[in-house]
Homo-oligomer: A and B are copies of this chain.
């Protein structure tokens, strides 16, 4: 992975302390929410406004530098790993999120049977289940 500063320059984004810190936070905390990331950034550079976190996350997402996922009943989560068509495994009870590689080759379900005339550009798959920790806590 290229370092954060280079990444920003490559996308014609002025380099600021906030952007570097957010980018690093996303890298170190995959699947974290905006709030989690704000917290992580504060640990690193002391202070950042809520709005800036959103600004940065939005611009990075728009440029395709990071990816936003929004599973049901969760606020948006962000990740570093882009462009490799991977999917997610989400725990229904605690929200723990893991990456999973595509089940069926490259772009698995990209071809819907009946596409209703839509031009499809992505097939997003979320596997819902219970993570090991929650399985242990609930049913032995």
A83 within 8 A of B: no
Whether A109 lies near B103 (C-beta < 8 A) is yes
Interface size on A (CB < 8 Å)?
43
Q: Which residues of chain B have C-beta atoms less than 8 A from A135's C-beta?
A: 117, 119
Cβ of A118 to closest chain B Cβ, rounded Å: 4
A132 and B128 CA atoms in complex are apart in Å by: 31
Q: Are A127 and B100 in contact (CB under 8 A)?
A: no
Q: Report how many copies the assembly holds.
A: 2
Which of the residues B70, B71, B98, B112 comes within 8 Å of A100, measured between beta carbons?
B112
A residues neighboring B (CB under 8 Å): 68-73, 76, 87, 89, 91-92, 98, 100-104, 108-132, 135
A-B contact pairs, 30 of them (CB 8 A): A68-B72, A70-B71, A87-B112, A89-B115, A89-B118, A89-B120, A91-B118, A92-B121, A98-B116, A100-B115, A100-B116, A102-B113, A103-B108, A103-B111, A104-B109, A108-B109, A109-B127, A112-B127, A115-B127, A115-B129, A116-B131, A117-B131, A118-B132, A120-B127, A120-B128, A121-B130, A122-B128, A123-B128, A124-B125, A126-B126
